[in-house]
A and B are shown apart, each in its own frame.
Chain A
Amino acid sequence: MTAPFRKHALALATLLALAAAPFLGFGDGFALSLLARAMILGMAAVSLSLLVGGAGLVSLGHAATMGIGAYTVVAFDAAGVSEGLIVFPAAIAAAAAYALVTGAVSLRTSGVHFIMITLAFGQMAFFTTSSFSSLGGDDGYTLYARTEWLGTRILDNRLTFHFLCLGLLALVWVGGNLLLGSRFGRVLRAARENPQRALAVGFQPYPYRLVAYVMAGAVGGLAGALLANATEFVSPALLSWTRSGELLFMVILGGVGQIGGAILGALAIVLLEESLSHLMVYWRLVFGPLLVLSVLFLPDGLVGAPLRLRAAIRFASPKRRNADA
């Protein structure tokens, strides 16, 4: 049990820290809403990590599934419906349906084509939401009320909302890990590493990839519905392609080898953005170069950083090198 424990130690520690945070001085409204944002984006990032790291599918349009989940909440809100038992399943189903249709087309291609096509479909969703003039168009839409559950407004309590997000995040993470270790996950992983081999033993990767794509889309929809509740405001910016790029950054920063890394990646990026934007107006002048540098110098993400550092130190020390030889 120690090996799997060590494998997941970092993600577990992050989740525990998130659980303790409200009681360690991060319990005010500002901190909680920031953490909620990080956890929700983390959920979307974990589902994207499942695609990128698990199935080898680099989607540059994952924000669209979040946006569709959020806009489903908005559409129901505009129609006066805010019951969670209706709104949340609908948001998840809408995002999954979008993933099914766009995935069916995108997955016929691979590699760079796949990146470009997912990006294009994401942009399509972006422009489509901007053209909904009854839902605010470009300007966005402010929710009338947070989603209710069986008529009670439990989501209005920030602490409840915090632990709801945390619980769902943990669930997505555990579910994702189970998925990767299952029969289904084995086929996905084999098809990522060597599609020819998967075919040779009788597996056509397409249906497996499509199902994974739809599952990730469904989680994206759930995250979107939560995000709409967290900010009580939804605009097309949520679907912009830069948001998809950010999600990918979270995945790679956490390390693609572990889907739990995306949780740490999301937390790191949300906190970094927040503190940078408080320090300066043009904060992306720092954020952008940091992104570039982390891609160039941390190919294994934050998770791999200590290992790389150790290797670098070992390489630099001639004594150790002789000893190794």
Chain B
Amino acid sequence: MPDPLLELRGLSKNFGALTVTSDVSLTVLPGEIHAIIGPNGAGKTTLIHQISGTLRPDRGTIRFAGQDVTALPFERRARLGLARSFQITSIVPGFTALENVALAVQARSGSSFRFLRPVANEKALNEEARAALDTVGLGRVADRGAAALSHGEKRQLELAIAIAMNPRLLLLDEPLAGAGPEETERLIGILRELRSRYGILLVEHDMQAVFALADRISVLVYGRVIVTGTVDEIRDHPEVRTAYLGEDALA
């Protein structure tokens, strides 16, 4: 078994008396899609916050690419190759699609304390940004203002930004949220292509998408991982059925 890309060990977090994350341990291997599912309020987003570094866990460690990153802030983890997408689309609305992606390329290629040369003319940045846009199928709207994109296109743009960071791990917080059936189809296709290049930790509500994409699934209930297994194992797990999936979810 290869060394895990991401390894959580005994992660716990309380908000006052409320336990939101309780002794969570899991791994993401290179080239693997590891999905986290669970009912609303199970603490999925809080967990993402702790992994990306916007929230500090009370206990436990986070190792990423062989390094303990528990104490590193958000932007430092990003520079190590941990790319995150947000549940509510987060882009720079005043930038073009291309500029949104080029910003991510810029972050990993040389100093940004350069004050005079017009960045819009930097070929190297733009070419890489265009390639990332092409990967998610947004090449044709590269020069459009990001605010003017459709909802689905914005979700794709966020993926392109994450790809442009040249990350090792994608941390995707409900990438399909709010997308229509067609957009969902397209996004699933994109994610399927990305799996070979990165490790992916996927939080998603759309069960069909999860079952279609995931290599392994962890089920989170009340902040605790009740089971981790392959798609088939999860599908048949009795505790999962009662705790989360219900009877009709798989019908």
In the complex, A touching B (Cβ < 8 A): yes
Q: Bound complex: CA of A110 vs CA of B128, how far in Å?
A: 33
Q: Which chain A residue has the least Cβ–Cβ distance from B120?
A: A181
Given contact pairs A187-B103, A193-B94, A194-B92, A200 touches B116 in the complex (Cβ within 8 A): no
Say yes or no: A211-B75 contact (C-beta < 8 A), given A181-B118, A201-B107: no
Report the separation of the CA atoms of residues A182 and B122 in the bound assembly, to the nearest whole angstrom. Answer: 10
Give complex CA distance A175, B119 in Å.
Answer: 14
How many chain A residues touch B (Cβ–Cβ < 8 Å)?
Answer: 25
B: contact size bracket: 35 or more
Whether A120 sits at the interface, judged by CB under 8 Å, is no
Main secondary structure of the interface of A (DSSP, over half): helix
Once bound together, how far apart are the Cα atoms of A197 and B85, in whole Å? 9
Given contacts A183-B117, A186-B119, are A202 and B94 in contact (CB under 8 A)? Answer: no
Contact B116 A179 (CB under 8 A): yes
Number of A-B contacts (CB under 8 A): 98
Interchain nearest-CB distance for B82 vs A (Å): 10
Partner of B118, one of A178, A190, A211: A178
Which A158-187 residues have C-beta < 8 A from chain B?
Answer: 175, 178-179, 181-187
Q: Is the CB of A199 within 8 A of B74?
A: yes
In the assembled complex, the CB of A213 is this many whole angstroms from the nearest CB of chain B, namely 14
Which of A184, A185, A198, A200 gathers most chain B CB within 10 Å? A200
Q: Are B78 and A202 in contact (CB under 8 A)?
A: yes
Indicate if A109 sits at the interface (CB-CB under 8 A): no
Q: Which residues of A contact B84 (CB under 8 A)?
A: 200
**Chain B residues near A178 (CB-CB < 8 A):** 115-116, 118
- Contact (Cβ within 8 A) B90 A190: no
Q: Is the CB of A184 within 8 A of B112?
A: yes
Q: With the chains together, A9 CA to B107 CA distance in Å?
A: 33
A199 with B78: CB separation less than 8 A: yes
**Shortest CB–CB separation between residue A196 and chain B, in angstroms?**
5
Please state if A185 and B92 are interface contacts (CB–CB under 8 Å). Answer: no
Interface residues of B (CB under 8 A from A): 52, 73-76, 78-79, 83-84, 86, 90-95, 99-100, 102-104, 106-108, 111-120, 122, 161, 165
